[in-house]
Chain A
Amino acid sequence: MIEGFRLYARLMSAQIRSQMQYKMSFIMEFASTFMGMILEFASVVVLFIHMPALDGWTLAEVAFLYGSAEFAMALSQVITSGFDVFPETVRLGKFDSILIRPRNAMFQVFASELAIRRFGRAAQGLFVLGIAIWWMDVDWGVAEWSMLAVMILGGVVFFAGLFIIGATFSFWTVEGLEAMNILTYGGSTMVAYPMSIYAEWMRNVFIFIIPLAFVNYYPSLFLLNKVDPFGLPGFMPFLSLPLCSLVLLASLVFWHFGIKRYQSTGH
């Protein structure tokens, strides 16, 4: 286990060093994504010119949702970049060489890539989240700050599960599952705003079937002292990490199911 961590750290530092050879390229990609995504948030700010609050949520509170959703999703995307290039690996027949190495296949895919250029979007999320917390002038104790950390962790774990599930489809379709964008990009956009603005059927799907609302909405109700508009039990915010972990667990099960059915495309 410890050796695994050490190996992972080594591979990742090699990744970072090699990508940092093109430092200007990294800076440009980082800065352009960061500034470009800030403009997306600017559109939310513009909407608040026309209203005092969105369904009872102030701009700072919506920024809190928006920033935490973006940060968790984008960070997860960086961490799981190996799975992002996985469909390509399968298509080119390179997965065979992964299978014959004396290491867990999933570990190798996980450690095969770290797309640091994607940090721009994560930085944007963290920036908006930071401003929101500063602006709300919160008076949080250890419990609240821990809740925030657990909430972000839950979000990262949730989206990582989705990215892995999407990549696993390439065992069958060779292309990965593009429709997964609905849940990853669409999901993080959905929870950038309070769940109460959506139609009832959408809310029910993303609370009870896919635990998207637990990525940040329920923990935020607790952190921002809001009453649950759907009248669900008070322990809901604390289910965040367990439910998000279930998604990751499901992705691992699915991966093992897929790998057993893997047929090489040849080389």
Chain B
Amino acid sequence: MLYLALFRKGFQRMMAYRSATLAGIATNFFFGLLRTYLFIAVFDASGQVSIGGFSLRDAITFTALTQAFGSSLGIINWWWEVGKTIESGEIITDLTKPFHYFSFWLSRDLGRMVFQVIFRGLPIMIVYPFFFELTWPTSMAQWLLFSLSLSMAMIISFCWHFWMNCLSFWFVNAKGFGRFAWLAAAFFSGFLIPLSFFPDWLKAIAMWTPLPAIINTPIEIYLGVAQGAALWEALGLQLFWVIAFTIICELTFRAGRKRLVIQGG
């Protein structure tokens, strides 16, 4: 099947960048160390054993998870593949090909994400316990729910990138928006610090966006911070965003395609 083949190609393409992957792991891990010691100092200074439902060990695990999966989920690295082809006009050759445009890029990018979960994420989760004690899911069900949540997070992350890229149909300088969207995602997704550390009003703002569904939700499920009704609510909200954001992307893309004017040829 075409999209499965695209997924595989996206995965294989990443294998060409072996030294980049190694350098990436080292950099992600070093940042993990810095962030861990910052949280140790924060808990020390706060005089509390738990902040927003996070123990110190949870907070350290939070840094491990974000550093491990941040590049896969597109928070550490930005993606401007579609925007580039819109700007250059090359998109026209893709549009004449017989595939569904959104699914084409989604399959390719999922290939990259899965590669990075395995070859950038897992090494970090394996190295971390040699330095710090981590929190682990306590049951098979929790592992499964985390995997489910992580998978939905990947799709929402892709939608976020794709949607921002589509702005290039309307604005010549969409790349600037894109850069801001990327940096804003680090903050509002709960990547830099957990959303439970936010004051209520700020968390409320974040929760109106799809961004927490990319980072905060899978992590709270992994740590067991989200439990019972809150857990199902978080998963339901993620599912909502998967569906709604896919539709939004498709509609935005269709509207953008109508505006497309290609010079020459």
Contact = CB atoms under 8 A, between A and B. Distances in A.
A40 B31 contact: no
A197 interface: yes
Nearest to A191: B34
Interface residues of B, number: 42
A53 B34 contact: no
A47 B19 contact: no
Contact of A55 (B26, B41, B176, B180): B41
Interface in B9-30: 19-20, 22-24, 26-27, 30
Given A54-B45, A178-B20, A179-B23, A186 B176 contact: no
Contacts of A186: 27, 30-31, 34
Given A42-B187, A197-B41, A202-B33, A36 B193 contact: no
A24 B23 CA distance: 35
Interface residues of A, number: 40
A43 B191 CA distance: 10
Nearest to A35: B180
A36 B27 contact: no
A33 interface: yes
Nearest to B174: A28
B186 A40 contact: yes
Interface in B134-170: none
Interface string A166-179: 00000001010111
A146 interface: no
A246 B48 CA distance: 43
Interface stretch (B118-126, B196-204, B220-228): B196-204
B30 A37 contact: no
B5 interface: no
Given A28-B173, A32-B177, A39-B184, A46 B198 contact: yes
14 contacts: A29-B179, A32-B178, A33-B179, A36-B184, A39-B186, A40-B186, A47-B197, A51-B42, A54-B41, A175-B19, A178-B20, A179-B22, A185-B27, A186-B27
